[in-house]
Every structure is written in C-alpha cells, then in structure tokens.
Structure 1
C-alpha cells in the first residue's frame, strides 16, 4: 500500500509542458493545468529528502476549501478537484512576486527584527516589540518568486521601479491581499485561531487578475490558538503554532537553515510519522473537518486516472 507520493512522471493527451516545483508537479495544457500536490516537504527553500504521508492531501484539501470560501473577493484558478491530491485549474500567467501579509511579528519577520532590523520590505516597524506581538496594523512584505533557490524580500517601490508588475496591477494585488487576509482572519477566529501571517500568489487569466496556488494552508500560513494568545504573550511563553514552523525549528535545532555547507538532519521514520500527524492535526483544527485518509493500493495510479477522467 502506497501512502505517500514523492514525485509523478505522467504523460497526458494534449499536454504541452511540465513544471516541477518544490512540492507540486504541474502538468500544462493549452488553457488549463493539472496540479498534483505531492508529499514532498520543503523548508528554507530546500526540498527535504523524504516525503510526508498525507501532506499533499492535507494541503490540497485545505486550499480547495478556502479558495471556494474567498472566490467572491477575487476570481481564482480552480476548475475542479477530482482527487484529494489534485486540482485542475485555469492556466494563469503568474506574477513574479509573492504577496506576504503579516498581522503579528513572527517567523522570518521576527528573526530579521531580532537582528536589529527595523525596516522590512520598505515597511518601518516600531521599537520595543516582542516575538509574536500583534503589529499596529497588518503589513505587506512581498518576496520575489524564485523558480530555483531562495525567494528574496523586496519592497513595493522596488517591485514597481523594476517593473516586475505595473503600479496599477501591484496596487490591485495589495488590495486583494488585504481583503483576503481580512476574510482569512475571520474564518480562523471562527475556529478559535489567529491567522498570524500568510502569503498569496496571483496571476493573469484572459486579462483578469486571479488568485492562484494554495491559500491559508500550514505551508503558506501561520496560526496561533486564540484562547491562549494573550496569556502566553503576557507570561513570555512561546505561542503554539499551527504552521510548518515546527519543521523549521526542528531543522534549526539540528543546525540546518538551508545555507551552503549545512547538512540536512536524518529524517527517521519517527520524525516522518510525527510530521505527518502534525499535518493531519493542522487540517482538522484549521478546517473543523475530520481528516479522511486515502486508502489505496497505488496512489500514483489513482492520481493519473483522476486527471485523465477529468481531462
């Protein structure tokens, strides 16, 4: 029984291209794409050597739920989700920028702030903040969208001046990002969670901006428990996070942050099982639904058939 899938190598009628991302395999057709959420896992922009059972299913199903819940704010790329690991969607031309929005000082932003920086992506931050403090208002800290290697912080002015996108489009991306974050914040609070930070990716389809990729998943977002937040902050206790941060922290504890010369620590069966269980826990907390594990003899064959039938 195959419960995880590291990569796919399909060939479909009408296929004109293929793209292998950090964790997704994308089959390209004339006006649509078939995206397979594999069980690969990445951290610090490095793909780790072993897959995590059910991770792809978790991410794909969370994304499908929240894309459906936000389609009135901005059109999105989804046409169908014929399998828990598969989304069929419109073939959009992606913008080479990721729209990161932060309501709290956590993760990468905190690490930068803790090193003394008070300006991130052109946004000034006040002195005296602690890790995980709520920011005076949500800030947008974009990054470049790298095909290979590390995404890099970039400011609004740099994006516009370098013509990565036009000023008109960028301002629309900011507007959509804030509206999506507001909606995501409310959906999270409904589940007793705080949406700490997240990222959105956009593309153009037939002259209209569309939301693409995944949204509000533990790989693209960070959540805290709302009921514990104030008490933990006042006591100086670390917030329990619903995000991929626990994987990053495990790597950091083993002296790996994706830098040249660093070795990825051994991913034992125990570690893989722990990460898989955490992803399932994240799914159930974020969606409020009970996770239904795929039961199959051959996950790869099931995925291929689902795509063929939909196409």
Structure 2
C-alpha cells in the first residue's frame, strides 16, 4: 500500500530572513500568494505567520492575518490553513537589568497569542510546548501560559499541532493530554536543528517518536541544509513532513529558493520513495479537522 503524508509549507516565519532571500514573502498579499502557489505545487497545509509590511519583522496585527486568510480562502486553490500561535514569546536577555528584557523583546499574554486563531478559526494552529534557548534569545512559553493557550484552542475547535523543540516539550505535551486539554488524536511536530534545541538527526527523531502516545500523529522538520534529509527520514518512519522558507532559504548550495520550489523538491523525493501527498480534503478527514468551507472542497 502506498504511504500518504501531510506536507506542510511554512511560507515565511518570523525570523530575520527577508534581507537574506528576496523570495521570503512579507506583505499579506505576498504571504497569501506564496501559500496558494505552494498548494498548487502540492502542499497540503500552509503554515502562516504575519509580517509587518513596512519592516518585514513579526506582526501581531489581526488585520494582517485577516487579509492573508481571506485571500487564501477566496482563491480557487484549496489548502489547509495553519496559523502560528507562538508569536510574542521572544525575550532578549539584558545583563545589566535581568528582570527587564533588552531591545527586541516581544512578549504577549496567552490570550493575545491566541487572538488570530480564535478570531479567524483556521483548521489548525501551532502550540509551542515549552521555553527554549533560541539562538541568542529565549523563547518563553511557561507551563501555566501553555495550559491557558491549550484551553483557548480547545474551546475554538481548532486542531493544535504540538511543536516540540526539545524532549521536555514532548513530556509537557503529553501532560496537556493527561489533563484533558487536547481533544481527539494529538498531532505532534518535532522541530529539529534549531539552536539550541533537539538535534536534527535520525537518532533524536526516533527517540521522540518512540515516546509518543499510541494514538498520536507526528511530523518533523529540519532547518537549513537538514530540511530535505529530515523530509526523507520522517516519511521513511511513518511521519508527516514540512518544508518552506521559514526553515530553509536554499534550493541548492548558493541557490535561493521559492516556497513552491521547496514543495516540488520534497514531492520529487517522496515520490521516489513511493510516498504520496494527502490532499487537503483527505487530511481534513484523516486528522478530524474543521472544514471552513462547509462542503466538499
């Protein structure tokens, strides 16, 4: 039997990448267009962040998210929408005054982080399951904040994708399940290779996979040059996959990528391994997602 996987295109992210690759989408129209092109190339899911059209940096503006989602939903191309709920967690250490974040600190309450999800009701959203040293900053998601976010997501009916940047995040995600804060079969995502979280290698991926609940679905992605190797490893071991400019800027050494090119490259590798890509409607049924169209689309 041919294996089928969910393929996510993470089209922009929130990192300082817009000056490194001109194809990283910034405006709501660019982000929506890139999501649509990724779907046309074969992606099942578009994972979206909003950016400030003027600065290219992270945006929490609900109107930016509304425009992105509206443009995608009004297009003729079907794709599952997955909105980040991980914004507003960046703490820049200030050694001269450790109690106060330094320049660039961007913190939001759980309710603020949830606003785009609760207002726009995508099929899916991410839930970052713990704090981590993220390069030179600290990404902060304390446990009580996460419990509150999980409760808000549960009430919205949106399916959370449980983002695990390290093994402790996996443990806490299982605690949320034990506390009844997640409905249905859980969806985990292993976020591999981010400094200084879990390593992007097969041993680490399998360590995390082997500790999943029996009814769990899972996906994995690697950053930079490990993006495509992790695609192949995850599919080989029964997982779903993710590519996109949020995680990797290059199609090949020295060649900047577009999102749809990364999707196409991943599909070529998966087809060579006898792995097919789920359609959005197949994934809605398989993962028990809401259908915002209310029909068969």
TM, length-normalised to structure 2 = 0.30
Q: Which has the larger radius of gyration?
A: 1
Instruction: Judging by fraction of residues, say which structure has more strand.
Output: 1
